[in-house]
Amino acid sequence: MPKCLIISNPNAGSGAGKRAIGKIEPALKALHLDFDIRITERPGHAAELAREAAQGGYDVIVAAGGDGTSNEVLNGIMEARLQGHRSAAMGILCAGRGNDFADAVGIPSDLTEACRLLAANQRRRIDIGRVTGGSVPQGRYFGNCVGIGFDAVGTIEAAKLPRLGGFFSFLIAVLKTILLYHQGPLATIEYDSQALTQSSLMISIMNGRRLGGGFLMAPQAEIDDGLFDLCIARQVSRTRILRLIPHFLRGTQASQPSIFTGRASRIKVTAVEGVLPAQTDGEIISISGDQLEIELLPRQLEMICPSPGRLH
């Protein structure tokens, strides 16, 4: 039986992470799983704990929190690998607001079901991404997405709504962002051997399917197909943004003339005018940067998750 470290973020999901600890421990004990639990104490702590766990020989390292916690655990695992330590597998127990990376790999939001999945120890190799630029010139790994422009500002606004949980807080943040951020940068987007220059309200580079707990940015995305899915919205009016929201909720935005979609494994975004606010997996990585480079790393992470036929 694999040895697991559960890295629990008590602050995830406006306190949902703290409440989840009381459910996770008895559920894993009932499943006779061999595990330890560590509680994060500050931003960045989950990455440190994950790196130390991989160095210390844990077989599986589990993020119990939201997308930010999962991103830190992913980065800790990859940092340990770069230092020459064998790669540990990663698991997720959902205790955040969006849980979009967990959705991408088919992990259920119900903690009891997710604990059973963890005990089943079914594994799958998935793609991850790496973004360089902004506040991460050294690079940062991600599982779900890089968002530039509108959704990065929306992420900042969602963080200001601690009492609203889940998708509702993201929806309120989107409506607020429409008032605050309605002029995107003029940017050149180079994707593989092609390029596009336009004023872009939003540039979403997706490894997973959704953002904000319910916005289907890339409904056809597969987590192990070796390509990112691009969803790029050119500059439109506030009224038009409101009319686009139902399309993003249904995943039908590709039918709209203001939306460009494509697929690529390497992307470079350069601001010609303006700056590039950006987030990755819900973590802000650029406020005033002018260039970001994103590359896909095929099947670099072993996940505890359902087989492809059971996803979504």
Number of CB atoms found within 10 A of residue 138's CB: 6
Residues 212 and 243 in one domain: yes
**H/E stretch holding 69:** helix 67-82
Q: What is the pLDDT of residue 178?
A: 82
Q: How many structural domains are present in the chain?
A: 2
Q: DSSP readout, 148-202?
A: EEHHHHHHHHHHT-TTS-HHHHHHHHHHHHHHH---PPEEEEEETTEEEEEEEEE
Q: Cα separation of 287 and 276, whole Å?
A: 7
Model confidence over 21-67: pLDDT tens digits?
A: 889 999 999 999 999 999 999 999 999 999 999 999 999 999 999 99
Give mean pLDDT, residues 217-242.
94
- Which CATH number covers residue 173? 2.60.200.40
Domain limits at 107?
3-121
Residues 76 and 209 in one domain: no
311 part of a folded domain: no
Residue 120, SS3 per DSSP: helix
Residues 242 and 114 in one domain: no
290 part of a folded domain: yes
Residues 109 and 160 in one domain: no
Q: Cα separation of 270 and 49, whole Å?
A: 34
Residues 25 and 113 in one domain: yes
E-assigned strands of the chain?
Answer: 3-8, 34-39, 60-65, 89-94, 123-133, 136-142, 145-149, 186-191, 194-206, 228-234, 259-264, 266-273, 278-280, 283-286, 291-304
106 part of a folded domain: yes
Model pTM? 0.93
Of the three residues 89, 121, 153, the one that is the final residue of a domain is 121
Residues 200 and 93 in one domain: no
Q: CB–CB of 26/83 below 8 Å?
A: no
C-alpha to C-alpha distances, 274 to 174, 187, 199, 278, 279, nearest whole angstrom: 21, 8, 10, 13, 17
Q: What is the pLDDT of residue 1?
A: 66
Residues 40 and 82 in one domain: yes
306 part of a folded domain: no
Residues 38 and 159 in one domain: no
97 part of a folded domain: yes
233 part of a folded domain: yes
Of the three residues 121, 144, 175, the one that is the final residue of a domain is 121
The strand pair at 283-286 and 278-280 is best described as antiparallel
Query: pLDDT higher for 309 or 210?
Result: 210
Residues 78 and 227 in one domain: no
Model confidence over 142-179: pLDDT tens digits?
A: 999 999 998 888 887 777 766 555 676 777 877 778 87
Residue in this structure with the two tokens 């119900």, named with its chain if needed: 110
Residues 76 and 153 in one domain: no
Of the three residues 121, 146, 165, the one that is the final residue of a domain is 121
Q: Cα separation of 228 and 129, whole Å?
A: 9
Is 18 exposed, middle or buried, given 0-12, 13-18 or 19+ CB atoms closer than 10 A? Answer: middle
Q: Cα separation of 22 and 12, whole Å?
A: 14
Residues 156 and 291 in one domain: yes
Q: Record the tokens describing residue 311, joined without a space.
A: 């996803």
Long-range contacts of 162-168 (CB under 8 A, 24+ apart): 162/14, 163/14, 164/14, 165/13, 165/14, 165/16, 165/97, 166/13, 166/97, 166/98, 166/213, 167/97, 167/98, 167/212, 167/213, 167/214
- Which CATH number covers residue 66? 3.40.50.10330
225 part of a folded domain: yes
127 part of a folded domain: no
Listed range (18-22, 286-290, 291-295) with the worst mean pLDDT: 18-22
Position 234 confidence tier, pLDDT thresholds 50, 70, 90: very high
Residues 295 and 274 in one domain: yes
